[in-house]
Amino acid sequence: MSTMPPSLAMNPIPVAERIHTLDVVRGFALLGIVLMNIEAMVGPLISATTGLDPALTGADRWADALIYIFVQGKFFTLFSLLFGMGFAVMSQRAQAAHRPFAGIYWRRSLTLLGIGLVHALLIWSGDILVTYALLSMLLLAFREVSGRWLPWLAIASFLAPLGLMMLLGLMGSLMQSTPEQAAAWELTMGKQDKMIAAMLEGQRQAFGAGSYLQATLQRAKDLGFSLTNLMMIGPLVFGMFLLGSWFVKTGAIAHPENHPRLFRSMRWLALPVGLAMVLTSFVRHPTQDPAEISLTASTAFCLSMAGSALMCLGYAGWVVRGMQSPAWAAKLAWLAPAGRMALTNYLMQSLVCTLVFYGYGLGYFEQLPRAWQIPFVLALFCVQVLLSRWWLRRFRFGPMEWLWRSLTYLKPQPMRLRSA
């Protein structure tokens, strides 16, 4: 008969054993995610990936620039980091409990894939869960990798697509080195530009004025297009997965007080260096045309992505530092319930925003000015924080977290706190 403590059994982590700082960072990342996504919900998804909109003026232009510099690209990398941490925590608990892990983790990933597909096809095209689910299956192959090697593997994975982008940019510039080559290249890129313009117009018509069926068909097209970008975005995300696993394996996230040098470097080195890289990219090439392939465009993109990863580490470092201060810890603790219900809140953000802005909802598509998107997001997030606190006083999990865990462990989890 097993004498293993109940807390070591392969069940969802009890509330008392959760890493509170991790929930706070996750809640903070959730705010950044909706600040990043709102532009792609108010208007066409593809137009939200091009940096600064040159058509904007005044407060709208300032808002667009600030979101690009401080938010865009920083929070999907932070969420990727957190996802890798979650994987490592599950793996450590399975090892401590002497329980098989692969089967449970496969079910966890497949369940997330199902949730992501429903989200991507029926709610919003900008889904990231499908990408996370597909890439998470690769993490099992790195479960036994020593913590000593994980940061180097993470860096290599992250830099590989950036190196490829630089190579493509160099080739694009070389293809325009003579007038004849430039004319041929312009013709080729013209076709790419027309394809992107067609996608933009398709999203505008389907989401702004179309029925729910038309929007769903467009979401299916968008999903297919996003999966073709996995070769570029996948290694970036997976690199952050590996780095997140390293934070858990070394004990840095569970006991940050034992790693002061690491978190000090994140705050005072990674953040300012990353910000300098993003600002350099912004100054050199503020608007990124998807149809432009040149060394200048590739350099700006790579600076932005690498700088964003460093900034996300800096953000995490400052949140962790705040949790070590009694005054700030009490304030930041308000984010923890939203972080514990991150999946539910992420999906709810998409549902609320698409119902407000899409044509089959209230129909405010492309009608909320860029500057007003920020207070809209802050109001929405505050409501989510309050609802999360109210919900978790009564229940162990958010609704989608309950579904995810129940399917992962093949048994309905006790929901109400009194029945836990």
- Who's near 63: CB < 8 A, 6+ residues apart? 370, 371, 373, 374
Domain count, the chain: 1
Short-list 68, 48, 127, CA closest to 300 = 68
Task: Determine, yes or no, domain membership for 329.
Answer: yes
For 47-90, what is each residue's pLDDT tens digit?
A: 888 899 999 999 999 999 999 999 999 999 999 999 999 999 99
Task: Determine, yes or no, domain membership for 158.
Answer: yes
Task: Determine, yes or no, domain membership for 40.
Answer: yes
Q: CA-to-CA distance for 322 and 331, rounded, in angstroms?
A: 9
For residue 240, give both structure tokens.
């952050």
Beta bridge partners of residue 2, listed in sequence order: none
Task: Determine, yes or no, domain membership for 2.
Answer: no
For residue 21, give both structure tokens.
């700082």
Q: Name the 3-class secondary structure at 45.
A: coil
Q: What is the reported pLDDT for 10?
A: 57
Q: Name the 3-class secondary structure at 395.
A: strand
Q: CA-to-CA distance for 165 and 178, rounded, in angstroms?
A: 22
Identify the residue whose tokens are 């689910």: 133
Q: CA-to-CA distance for 15 and 382, rounded, in angstroms?
A: 23
Q: CA-to-CA distance for 81 and 312, rounded, in angstroms?
A: 9
- Who's near 195: CB < 8 A, 6+ residues apart? none
Cβ atoms 380, 325 nearer than 8 A: no
Q: What is the reported pLDDT for 5?
A: 45
Domain span at 411: 18-419
Cα four-point dihedral sign 186, 192, 196, 201: positive
Task: Determine, yes or no, domain membership for 10.
Answer: no
Q: Name the 3-class secondary structure at 144.
A: coil
For residue 391, give both structure tokens.
């919900």
Cβ atoms 38, 124 nearer than 8 A: no
Q: CA-to-CA distance for 295 and 177, rounded, in angstroms?
A: 12
Based on DSSP, count helices (H) and strands (E) in the chain, helices before strands. 17, 0
Q: What is the reported pLDDT for 97?
A: 80
Amino acid identity of residue 79, one-letter, is F
What string of pLDDT tens digits covers the 420 residues of the chain?
Answer: 333 344 445 566 666 567 889 999 999 999 999 999 999 999 999 888 889 999 999 999 999 999 999 999 999 999 999 999 999 999 888 888 888 888 999 999 999 999 999 999 999 999 999 999 999 999 999 998 988 999 999 999 999 999 999 999 998 888 887 787 777 777 777 777 888 889 999 999 999 999 999 999 999 999 999 998 898 999 999 999 999 999 999 999 999 999 999 999 999 999 999 999 999 999 999 998 877 888 999 999 999 999 999 999 999 999 999 999 999 999 999 999 999 999 999 999 999 999 999 999 999 999 999 999 999 999 999 999 999 999 999 999 999 999 999 999 999 999 988 754
**Torsion-angle region of 410 (φ positive above 0: left; ψ -120 to 50: alpha; else: beta):** left
